[in-house]
Structure 1
Amino acid sequence: MIARDFNEVLIGEDKFGGRPINVSRAIRFQECLDSCRMIVIGFSGARFTWSNHRPLAHLIQERIDRVFVNADSYGLYPEASVNHLERSQSDHNPILMCLDSRRGIMIPRPFRFQPMWLSHPSFPEVVREAWMRPNELSRAITHFTEKARA
């Protein structure tokens, strides 16, 4: 697990105000995560974890504080959740990582495709099965997400 201020955004939606994101840096950041086989954990709370605290005309907010896990740790803690807490004195929001859902805040995570799945030997078969039976896109996607999560 890696949790820290990465000082870098991954996508345009991770930034409000200021200059546009540097796309090549965002791509290199994502490629690094992919090569290390890191998975993004969803979150609850405020989207942005850092702010420059300026008036709206000059306000910049970014999601630069994140938690990533590898497949092994995700398998050990499938109920892990991340919560962006309220900011107080700092320009960063504190982040709470809960590994045990009984102690933490249970947050349903949306399904997200993970590029590292492409290297799993059974992945092509999961995709093939998802598209064999259903004749509707929504059913194929539902079948795929159920199989991919298993």
Structure 2
Amino acid sequence: MNLARSNMTAPWMIMGDSNVVTSQDGKAGGNLYDSTQTNWVLEFLNLNTCRLVDMPIQGVSFTWSNQRVNDDAILERIDKIFYNTEWSNKFCNAVGVCDPAIESDHCPLICHLRLKGTNSKTKKAFKFEAEWLIEEDCKEVVREVWNQDDRLTREVHFCTKIRRTRVKLKKWSKTKYGGKRNMVEKLCKEIAELQNDLLTSESADRIKILQKRTRR
């Protein structure tokens, strides 16, 4: 734990399950928050050692649940992102986001990195989704592009096909999944609202129903 400040000049960040609650507002249900159990964590993070800062997290208020209901329910904020000043200077626009839990007792923790001086509204990179492979009309989109007879050199011909395929698939996916994605976003929003409070039998059943609907 005794890390010299001179050895911590590089920009660095750690994130994940810290397994400790560092304040009373980071816990709901169960026994009261006991500061003596987390003092060593706060000491490790202070200015005399790692000089780390706890990044504010957007999204759900608690990142872990014991998945029990009523009087046995416990919620804790134990998944965190810590960073030093050097890292913050490089990624000054970074944002921490915690999405609602779907398949786990932990909520997925995401750190969106934006380099200093870059435009946060840059165009999103094209990503091919694995689920598209089971769609017959997706295959037709690709087949149609690659069956076009272009009288170009082999290198230019290949690059042109790739570019056209990307454009066609983006348009196809927006038409095919646009409504579905909006629906999933609404479902996740409702799940997040329910997971921000201690679970009851009713809210737990509702979450299970919503989680199943997100997988369809």
- Which of the five TM-score ranges fits, normalised by the shorter chain? 0.5 to 0.7
Q: Tell me which residue corresponds to 1:15.
A: 27
How far the C-alpha of 1:22 sits from its partner, in A, is: 2.1
TM-score scaled by length of structure 1:
0.66
Q: Equivalents in 2 of 1:103, 1:36: separation in Å?
A: 33
CA shift, 1:37, in A, is 0.4
Structure with the bigger percentage of strand:
1
Structure 1 stretches of 4+ with a deviation exceeding 2 A read none
SS at match of 1:67: strand
Of residues 90-99 and 35-44 in structure 1, the stretch that sits farther from structure 2 once superposed is 35-44
Quick one: which of 6, 15, 24 aligns to 1:3? 15
Q: What CA deviation, in whole Å up to 9, does each residue of 1:65-102 have, x standing for no partner? A: 00000111001000011001111010000011011172
Residues 1:32 and 2:44 aligned together: yes
When the two structures are aligned, how many residues end up with a matched partner? 104
1:46 to 49, 53, 60: 60
After superposition, the Cα gap between the structure-2 partners of 1:93 and 1:76, relative to the gap in structure 1 and judged at 3 Å, is same
Shift of 1:103: 6.4
Secondary structure at the aligned position of 1:83 is classed as strand
- Change in Cα spacing, 1:103 to 1:56, as seen in structure 2 (3 Å) is farther
Q: Give the letter for the 2:66 counterpart.
A: N
1:72 alignment partner in structure 2:
86
Note if contact 2:16-2:109 (Cα within 8 Å) is conserved in structure 1.
Answer: no
Gaps of 5+ in 1: 105-150
Bigger share in helix: 2
| Cα RMSD (Å) | 1.6
Q: Distance in 2 between matches of 1:10 and 1:103?
A: 34
Letter in 2 for 1:18: G
Q: Deviations over 1:7-55 (max 9, x none)?
A: 0010011001111122112222111111210011111111100001111
Query: In structure 2, what is the equivalent of residue 97 of structure 1?
Result: 111
In 1, distance between residues paired with 2:44 and 2:27? 20
Give SS of 2:38's match.
helix
State the distance in 1 between where 2:92 and 2:121 align. Answer: 14
Largest Rg, 1 or 2: 2
Q: Taking every aligned residue pair, what percent have the same amino acid on both sides? A: 31
